[in-house]
């Protein structure tokens, strides 16, 4: 397994804005990508990762929202995910993003969603998501469409966020 570089908005905005293409088959090559993505996410650390964040424009997401360092790992894999239904009720959550490091802000999204996706074995799953699961899957599915959580903020906040990430990248270089 390989830990891959996570693309960030200071240097890789054009790639992060790409719309990812559907996966045609859940095969060993795709599972190798998902294994790399999961290790990359745990290493970051984060609770979710979309393939475009490692430069692969395919509709693939990994996630682990189990809490605490000592909690057993509960990895989830989503291939070609779709939202079948979203609640009218919304909920706010202070979101972050590994591609927008050290920026956190509140985003309002549907509180519950019903999903359909293919899992690691290529089986079709339909299930409901709420709480952090609903927040994270919507955030990650936005990535598949080239949308970042800062795109849900005001233009002023978005501009400031990107400028802050660029400034930090210059200092770190
Ligand atoms: O970049 C990403 O898409 C991953 C992102 C997912 C996410 C976080 C919060 C709300 C919605 C989606 C992250 O994982 S940011 C890092 C983070 O939240 C975290 C890191 C370590 C421990 C716990 C949380
Ligand atoms: Zn993100």
> Does residue 1 sit within a domain?
no
Average pLDDT over residues 107-118: 98
Distance 92 CA to ligand 2 centre (A): 16
Residue whose CA lies nearest to ligand 1 atom number 20? 46
Averaged pLDDT, 106-121: 98
Task: Tell me the mean pLDDT in the region 60-65.
Answer: 98
Q: In the 8-state DSSP scheme, what is residue 47?
A: S
Could you give the number of structural domains in the chain?
Answer: 1
User: Which residues form the domain of 121?
Assistant: 9-172
pTM greater than the 0.85 cutoff: yes
Domain membership flag for residue 129: yes
140 belongs to the catalytic site: yes
Q: Residue 74 domain-assigned? A: yes
What's residue 171's pLDDT? Answer: 82
Q: Is residue 3 part of a domain?
A: no
Q: What is the pLDDT of residue 11?
A: 95
Residue 52 has pLDDT above 90, yes or no: yes
CATH number of residue 28's parent domain? 3.90.45.10
Q: Is the pLDDT of residue 3 over 90?
A: yes
Residue 107 domain flag: yes
- Concatenating the DSSP letter of every residue in 61-127 gives EEE----STTSPP--EEEEEEEEEEE-S-EEEEEE--TTSTT--EEEEEESEEEEEEE-TTS-EEEE
Q: How far apart are CA 143 and CA 93, in angstroms?
A: 17
List, in sequence order, every residue forming a beta bridge with 106; answer none if it has no partner: 94
> What average pLDDT does range 32-50 have in this prediction?
97
pLDDT value at 127 more than 80:
yes
pLDDT category at 101 given cuts 50, 70, 90 is very high
Atom of ligand 1 nearest to the CA of 47: 14
Angle at which helices 9-16 and 155-172 cross, to 10°: 130
């Amino acid at each position: 397994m390989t830990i891959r570089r996570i693309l960030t908005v200071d240097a890789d905005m054009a790639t992060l804005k790409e719309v990812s293409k559907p996966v045609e088959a859940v095969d060993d090559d795709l599972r190798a990508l998902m294994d790399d993505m999961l290790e990359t996410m745990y290493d970051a650390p984060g609770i979710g990762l979309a393939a475009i964040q490692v430069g692969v424009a395919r509709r693939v997401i990994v996630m682990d929202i189990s809490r605490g360092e000592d909690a057993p790992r509960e990895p989830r894999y989503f291939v070609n995910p779709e939202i079948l239904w979203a609640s009218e009720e919304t909920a706010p959550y202070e979101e972050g993003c590994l591609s927008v490091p050290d920026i956190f802000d509140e985003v309002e999204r549907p509180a519950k969603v019903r999903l359909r996706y293919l899992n690691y074995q290529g089986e079709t799953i339909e299930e409901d998501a709420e709480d952090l699961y609903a927040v994270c899957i919507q955030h990650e599915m936005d990535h598949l469409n080239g949308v970042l959580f800062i795109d849900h903020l005001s233009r002023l906040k978005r501009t400031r966020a990107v400028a802050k990430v660029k400034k930090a990248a210059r200092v770190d270089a």
